[in-house]
Structure 1
Amino acid sequence: MAEDSNIILNSEDQSLGTIQIAPRVLEIIAGIAAGQIEGVSRMHGSIANSVSELLGRSDHRRGVKLSNSDDELSIDVDVYLEYGVSVPKVAAEIQDKIKQQVTLMTDLSVKEVNVHVQGVITEKEEQQVDPNDIFGEHENKDGEE
């Protein structure tokens, strides 16, 4: 889980004050960036994330953990990939995209992005169920009853 303290962004001109960013903001940035990679099926999250998603609330922090030490960020990302993709290639793209987006949006240094592949998701097969014969009791040969 992310630390509760805000991260102070360093800028050369601090005459107007300091800029602080909450760790959850960085987790959201990383979650959105990872979700945009082709081959990522979904992010891995907790039961609370799943319940929130069922209620219609999306949590872009799902599957992202942030660690901050000595002004260097470490980001852990838990993902499910689509079946048939190259795992090393997709994982490297996730690492590059997250590092790029966090650096671009916050000017913070990302030390490492660790990708944890939690599983592979296969395509769902469409099941043809006749609402008038849900148990398949009236089988026919030519599509007629």
Structure 2
Amino acid sequence: MTQSPSTATGSEAAAVSSGRTGTGSTPARLADDTGQGKTTIASGVVQKISGIAARDVSGVYSMGGGVSRAFGAIRERIPGGSGTSQAAGVQVEVGEKQAAIDLDIVVEYGAGIVELARAVRRNVIAAVEQMTGLEVIEVNIAVNDIHMPGDDSDDDSGQQAAQQPSTRVE
């Protein structure tokens, strides 16, 4: 059974409620402590797993709000860049034994948002818990936009024009 942050043990509640969000630079958290050593998992790892698991659900068009999607589009165009960030639209708080996840998603038009959110939540929880051993106490989902099927053709033509400058002289 999943504990809410208010019913978690003192150290778990303090770690989760500390307000530390997942960026690649945050310290790793204790996930396993045995007599033979410790295993730690960085919050960026939980972020990446969550982002990939959310995108795997049919009906999720993209992740992130308008600003993070715009920066992601710019990052994709930079030669030698890392491409699409798997952590865009994903914020995490990772404690010693628990994690809380916030997702910003864009859904495809026609998808049932409530059912989609349930599927995303199940997929993210299963992936994070199976891969990290951390208990996921909550997954909050914010639907920021709906992608319309005709939106891609407008974006693609603008990108092609920007990539192929027209010449004035032949």
TM over 0.5: yes
| Local SS of the residue matching 2:27 | coil
SS in 2 for 1:18: strand
Which of 121, 125, 136 lines up with 1:99 in the alignment? 125
Number of equivalenced pairs: 126
> 2:31 touches 2:134 (CA, 8 Å); kept in 1?
yes
Structure 1 runs not aligned, ≥5 long: 130-145
CA distance in 2, matches of 1:33, 1:24: 14
- Mapped contact 2:99–2:135 kept (Cα < 8 A): yes
Give 2:47's match in structure 1, choosing from 27, 31, 45.
27
Note the residue ranges of structure 2 that are not aligned, 5 or more in a row.
1-20, 158-170
* Alpha-carbon displacement from aligned partner over 1:41-88 (angstroms, at most 9, x marks no partner): 011152433321233512101110001346321100000000001000
1:53 to 56, 62, 76: 76
How far, CA to CA, are the matches of 1:86 and 1:54 in structure 2?
Answer: 32
Residues 117-142 of structure 1, C-alpha deviation per residue, up to 9 Å, x if partnerless? 01000002758x9xxxxxxxxxxxxx
State the AA in 2 paired with 1:102: V
Question: Greater helix share, 1 or 2?
Answer: 2
Larger Cα-atom Rg: 1
RMSD (Å), alpha carbons: 2.1
- 1:74 is matched with which residue? 100
